[in-house]
Structure 1
């Protein structure tokens, strides 16, 4: 029996276009000023030190660090310090009303329903935990954070490697077969299955080819799957 649902965000609960057309451009536009004005903030300086370590740029070379961060944004690099800094920037944007987090209405309805049924809900995304809480806390479907029991990001490991899901299972303290992982990326599902989790492939628009894996089109389909298990 499924007792825990672990969900991806981008392409699963939320539109890919929101991330790439709203959040990423906002971070790119404001990153330079943020680094220069907030560099003395311990939380920011900690992440900049990690950028310096990973890039080889001197920690006091703010222009160089900004160039690295902008390049990582363009590459959609899954770098933990970049995701942390983006999360800080997005927090400002949400609080100032520059945008609201996009969540599909069917996802919001299902999350409420599953929570009320006693299922434990968690997020696993390449975005930082802060960014995850923001998209659900300031969503266009209201504050959804009360429905979640916890959040996981790249500190658990890369999303396409099974060890990451083993790390999550260790944190959850449950049998792998009681966890259902939702994602739009088949390689992530493969990694979760290798760790013993059950999975659901949620593909909202494109018609996948070359795979025998069942396709869920929305969260109603996932809910129907849950009732079969």
Structure 2
């Protein structure tokens, strides 16, 4: 019996194009100015320290920005990059320049599952703060009260079985009681290896079907 639903964001609750065509360019456009203006902020400084730890050398603000821009170009899932992107996006959301995208069927499904007693969790390569911003600033209102928890790359990579095992420990449920939703077959493979149930979302032609998992074109097709 499914007691909890763990969902990806990109290609699952929200459009991949929104992340790649709106969020990533916004963060890149504002990165250098943000670092210069917010370098004294504790969270920003910690992220910059983490960048230096990864590259193994001290960096100026401009050098750190060079590294971060390269990581953006590579779509690298580096935790300090994701943290800084989330901080920059918060400025955009707070100013009204950004609005979190979710598919039209997402809010109703989340509300239905929540009302039926299912615990809802998010697992995305974007930082927890960035996840909350997307769901907190949608055209359908603030969806964050529906969720019981959020996970990002600090718990591990999304294609690693150990990450899903760690999530199961965190939420205190056996794998067979948790349904993982994603558009990426390798992520579903890892979740299944950890004992979770799975469903692949095939919302558009960007998704590559993995027939090892049940599939749905949208949340309305998912039957628990």
State whether TM-score is above 0.5. Answer: yes
Shift of 1:208: 4.2
Shift of 1:75: 1.0
Question: For residue 22 of structure 1, what is the aligned residue in structure 2?
Answer: 22
Please give the residue correspondences for 1:102-141 in structure 2 after superposition, counting only pairs within 5 Å. Answer: 102-141=101-140
Question: For residue 43 of structure 1, what is the aligned residue in structure 2?
Answer: 43
Unmatched 5+ residue regions in structure 2?
none
Shift of 1:211: 3.2
Shift of 1:2: 0.1
Q: Deviations over 1:170-204 (max 9, x none)?
A: 10111110000000000000000000000000011
Q: Is the partner of 1:199 in helix, strand or coil?
A: strand
Q: Is the partner of 1:100 in helix, strand or coil?
A: coil
Question: For residue 73 of structure 2, what is the aligned residue in structure 1?
Answer: 74
Work out whether residues 198 and 213 of structure 2, in 8 Å CA contact, stay in contact via their aligned partners in 1: no
User: 4+ residue stretches of structure 1 with deviation over 6 A?
Assistant: none
Shift of 1:209: 5.4
Flag the 1:168–1:213 CA change in 2: closer, same or farther, 3 A. closer
Q: Give the whole-Å Cα distance in 1 for the aligned partners of 2:93 and 2:117.
A: 30
Shift of 1:212: 4.8
Indicate yes or no: 2:58 matched with 1:58: yes
Shift of 1:84: 0.4
Q: Give the whole-Å Cα distance in 2 for the aligned partners of 1:220 and 1:80.
A: 33
Q: Is the partner of 2:97 in helix, strand or coil?
A: coil
Please give the residue correspondences for 1:163-202 in structure 2 after superposition, counting only pairs within 5 Å. Answer: 163-202=162-201
Flag the 1:159–1:212 CA change in 2: closer, same or farther, 3 A. closer
Q: Give the whole-Å Cα distance in 1 for the aligned partners of 2:67 and 2:128.
A: 22
Alpha-carbon RMSD: 1.2
Work out whether residues 57 and 64 of structure 1, in 8 Å CA contact, stay in contact via their aligned partners in 2: no
Q: Give the whole-Å Cα distance in 2 for the aligned partners of 1:113 and 1:57.
A: 50
Q: Deviations over 1:132-185 (max 9, x none)?
A: 000000012211001000100001100000000001011011111000000000
Shift of 1:105: 1.4
TM-score (norm: length of structure 2): 0.97
Q: Give the whole-Å Cα distance in 1 for the aligned partners of 2:86 and 2:210.
A: 36
Q: Deviations over 1:30-74 (max 9, x none)?
A: 000111111111111000000011123414x11110000011111
Q: Give the whole-Å Cα distance in 1 for the aligned partners of 2:143 and 2:210.
A: 35
